[in-house]
Structure 1
Amino acid sequence: MKKNSFVSAALLIAVLLVGLWNCKDAPLPDPVIGGGGGGPGDGNGTTPPVTTLPPATTVSSATVGPFTYTVPDQPANWLSYNGTQILGLTIGSTTVQESATLRLEVRKEYGGAIQIYDKTTGQYLINFRDKGRESGLASYAGPRSFADDSPRWKGIGYNPLQPGDDGGNPSPILFHGLINGYVYTKVQCFSWAHQDARLLPFFYEQWVRLDDNKVHVKVRLTHQRPDKTFYDFMEQEWPFMMINGARSVRFYNGSAPFTFGPTVTSDGIEQIQNGNPVAQQFTPFHITEPWQAVEIGTNRYIGLCAPYYYRVNHLLGASTAKENWEGGDTHTYVGGRLFSPLDSDNIIEKEYTILVGTENQIREFAYTQPRSTRPDFRFDVAHGRNNWYIFDGGHDQKEPFKTDNWKITYDGKMDNGPLNARGTKLLSPAGSWKASDIDTLYIQMSYSGPENQLNLVWLLNGQQGDAIDPSFPTQNAVRFPRGERPYNGQYVPIPVVNDGKIRTYRVSMKSHPQWIDIIQQFEITHVVGSAVIPPGEKIEMVYFGATNPGN
């Protein structure tokens, strides 16, 4: 099992390195990055332009009633203009909302991407060096070879992006309007990796509204891909933001969430060589409160918060440039990490909030986010996979579900041997559940395969599920203070019946010595063994959670 754990970890790290080192927000080796070479401003200077707030016609941010993803009946004009140049390109037309402390700009030439100006510290906050930065939802799908004909991003795969492509082309805005206090845009995304304005059948609708020190963002992704292949689950950046400059990041991954316990601070730097930071860690990690905050001034932060924001990452890009403006190379990245195959005919709705204020203000808002105190996942037409995913070789009926229940077929993978499904497993989305609140878990499912036992595995807060890379001791101490999950010691067996009939398996958790503190994720795995499990093993998931669903 230890050997398998290291293999699994190595494979996952390899996937992450491809997805992050080659993705649009990852720092490329200096000086090749983003919008190209040269200094800030017009590409030839060495001093960033003085930040000024261009005059603008602001639109109302008042809202009426609950949010329902309603589209405006009529288009609206872009009423303002920002003449600032970034690497020789003018920002251009905008729609603006203002509060006492913030200014929100929705920018036409960036696919409706948003910029936030902080009046307190006098700075634009989000990085706009090229069409691959900004903030929002960055999505990925297979095949990995999709962008192999691109000049710079081979191996990144299928990556529709709201702002535009690597050639500087802005994704076309199909509609811009105002409704119930929200600025609405609908964009057809370009393939980020290409430079030829390559349209993808992927539509990005955004509703955004400024509310005092908060920017509320709702996004609807509509995919209409002619290629109906089921591609592997990939790590999505849902949501992310890239902040100007090299900044410290704060979060909470302790055992007493939602109590204002002491937070953790990280600059994302492992060590310094020749005056420059090196050896950043790409490994995502879990937090127990759904927010991250980036320091932008004395006791002032920009925070990213969403109800599902429990598996995250943060990175520092182009630190050697030592720049701190919206067209600069240097940037601090924070983002959420959900897994999805980006199904070919699906609609995905997500929402998140960006806040500017003190750490306590950001946490207070995060504490108001809807959350489940106990796991409760029903796999039906309404909820689909519930953000669960298949790791290392499997497929399902794709979303949206046409009938209830999640129907999984294990395909296995080939790793220096025969095709084997023993390493394939099901993983839940990340959460923050107190172990003391859960005595029993119920798994309602059917099983068809050669095994008579599966294992229920879990991850504790501050714990890494697989092998930890020892070359990052400083960052490991912050991200994974518990170290690695105990080898073959943090599971409860599930005796399964191989007849394809749906049963409710009752799993007692309270007596396990590792059922403590905060549970962050669940896995359904095979037992450790050397026997090959051929492709074709099936599981049909009906329910997973702490409420007895009945037989």
Structure 2
Amino acid sequence: MPSQTQESSQKRLYLANDKIRMAIDLNAGGAITYLSEAGSNVNMVNNNDLGRQIQTSLYAGPYPYSVNGKNPVEQWRNLGWNPVQTGDYFNHPAQVVSYQQGQNTLYVKTIPLIWPLFNEPADCFFEHWIELKENTVHMRSRMTVNRTDTTQYEARTQEFPCVYLNGPYYRIITYDGLKPFTNDAVSEYSEQDNINRYGTENWIALLNTSGRGVGLYKPKGEVRFSSAGFGVTKEGGEFDVSSGYVCSQPALLVDYNGVYEYECDLIVGSLADIRQFAYNQPRPPAAPNYKFVTDRQGWYYGNTRDKGWPIQNELNVRWYRADPTAREFRIISPMAYWKASDVPKIYIQAAFQTKGTVARFVWRKPGDIAIIEIPGRYVDFPIIGDGQFRTYEINTSQLAGWDGVINQISLTSPESQYQFEKGSTVRIRSITATP
């Protein structure tokens, strides 16, 4: 097993105010390795190895990933191409290329390491901008990819970011109900299995027995989180195995030449502090409003591909199955929270180039294990396959099953249309709830 991170190897840069104190470590890829409340010398961040901390981790294919004669350790062979901000499984730290410190700000640029490989720099770099604001740490991250492997692999869920706190921070708390921003009762968990969470108020927290800890807030309506625990709950310090874990887990298609960004806030304090911060932020969109100008807006694909990065005013997608032995392909939205009553219509601005005449709009509701084409979850609509842009209107208010809460939407082709799929494409400019 790799050895633990030792205090003697630390090279920390601190920021502090009258509420909190935090630090990044230049010997741990510039990740956040220290976070405490003002007046306390108790570090909440777990540093058992270089896969912990508060950091960014990126995932893409192939699986397994080998390069330069190096093969992944068996335990992590199916992680694939996995750049980790802090370092690798063997406890080699990632290289900090540059950094800058201001009064309340930090900037760090890092070449991450491939987690399952021995001291292998990733073909990408990470940048992080950090700012201290009262009892919060605001972080913006940019990942610039420059792989020589130009294959477009399927999307993976990411860690944007992951948060590892010490064993005493074992209480996993979020709001995963269907009445967000109404002060409805929160949910508390302590399971140590890695479990997906539907955080409809856009936050998740790790708290101790006294009810204090750290909340992770994601803006722009991000609702997909995960949580886990390691070792023995309620005990342990920063170099011990015991840890609580939460992360923001959006699905992302990582291009060989792509550039990706996310933002988040870490709120230090009580559950009331964390939730109030979330309530003070702009409300997430109440309906789909995706316009594909410079990026995919979080959309991704199952069993199909697009033309790749950069995105220029449209998604240009193969309207057919990449693997024809598979049952279907999908063009898939990020997870969200929309009241069906707020979305009486869907408008799809698209140009289909196909001999097919029908497309399928599919939706998912909380409690569904996946996007599944069962009655009450889809509608077929006519398309014109001449390659010209049109706005297709779907009157969702008249559809059986379009009720309650909708948390994901997608486009596909019915099986009856597979005979026409060869060479078909669709170009999509927008998918919105208003014309």
Q: TM-score, normalised by structure 1?
A: 0.72
Q: CA separation in 2, counterparts of 1:236 and 1:439?
A: 32
| Among 46, 50, 54, the residue aligned to 1:131 | 50
CA separation of 1:134/1:201 partners in 2, compared to 1, >3 Å: closer, same or farther?
same
- Map of 2:317 onto structure 1: 408
What's the secondary structure of 2:116's corresponding residue?
coil
Within 5 A, what are the aligned runs for 1:256-405? 256-268=179-191, 280=193, 282=194, 284-308=196-220, 309-319=222-232, 323-370=235-282, 371-380=284-293, 382=294, 384-391=295-302, 393-401=303-311, 403-405=312-314
- Tell me the amino acid that sits aligned with residue 298 of structure 2: N
- Are the counterparts in 1 of residues 350 and 427 from structure 2 also a CA contact under 8 Å? yes
Q: Aligned pair in 2 of structure 1 residues 524, 210: CA closer, same or farther (>3 Å)?
A: same
**Given residue 126 of structure 1, which amino acid in structure 2 is its aligned partner?**
V
Q: How many angstroms does 1:519 deviate by?
A: 2.1
Which residue of structure 2 lines up, in the alignment, with residue 219 of structure 1? 141
Match of 1:110, SS? Answer: coil
- 1:145 CA drift (Å): 2.5
Aligned partner of 1:146 in structure 2 is 65
Q: Secondary structure at the match of 1:257?
A: coil
Q: Does the residue aligned with 1:124 lie in a helix, a strand or coil? A: coil
For 1:348-497, list aligned pairs within 5 A.
Answer: 348-370=260-282, 371-380=284-293, 382=294, 384-391=295-302, 393-401=303-311, 403-410=312-319, 412-414=321-323, 419-420=324-325, 422-449=327-354, 451-465=356-370, 487-497=374-384
What does the per-residue CA deviation read over 1:275-295, in whole Å, with 9 as the maximum and x for residues that have no partner? xxxxx3x45342311000111
Q: CA deviation at 1:530?
A: 9.9
The whole-number CA distance in structure 2 between the counterparts of 1:178 and 1:119 is: 20
CA deviation string 1:521-541 (max 9, x = no partner) = 111133356966755332111
Separation of aligned partners in 2, 1:518 and 1:360:
26
Query: Quick one: structure 1 residues 127 and 410, their matched pair in 2 at CA, closer, same or farther if it must change by over 3 Å?
Result: farther
Q: Which residue of 1 aligns with 2:10?
A: 92
1:130-209 alignment to 2 at 5 Å? 130-147=49-66, 149-152=71-74, 153-179=76-102, 181-195=104-118, 197-209=119-131
The answer (yes or no) to whether the contact 2:15–2:104 under 8 Å persists in 1 is no
Query: What residue is the counterpart of 1:112 in the other structure?
Result: 30
Alignment RMSD (CA, Å) = 2.5
Structure 1 spans left out of the alignment, 5+ residues: 1-31, 37-85, 270-279, 467-484
What's 2:413 paired with?
Answer: 526
Identity of aligned pairs, percent? 26
In 2, are the aligned partners of 1:302 and 1:356 still within 8 Å (CA)? yes
For 2:227 and 2:422, locate their aligned partners in 1 and report how far apart those are by CA, in whole Å: 37
Deviations along 1:134-184, one digit per CA (max 9) or x if unpaired, are 122210111112147123422221111111112211111111112473111
Letter matched to residue 44 of structure 2: L
- The corresponding residue for 2:425 is 538
Partner amino acid, structure 1, of 2:10? G
Query: Is residue 498 of structure 1 aligned with residue 417 of structure 2?
Result: no
Partner Cα separation in structure 2 for residue 249 and residue 302 of structure 1:
10
Give the 5 Å matches for 1:504-523.
504-523=391-410
Q: Which runs of 5+ in 2 are unaligned?
A: none
User: What TM-score, normalized by structure 2, do the two folds share?
Assistant: 0.90
- Distance of aligned partners of 1:180 and 1:125 in 2 relative to their CA distance in 1, 3 Å threshold: closer
Return the alpha-carbon distance in structure 2 between the equivalents of residues 542 and 461 of structure 1. Answer: 27
Contact 2:15/2:103 (8 A) holds in 1 = no
Confirm or deny: 8 A CA contact 1:441 1:508 kept in the other structure. yes
Secondary structure of the structure 1 residue equivalent to 2:87? coil
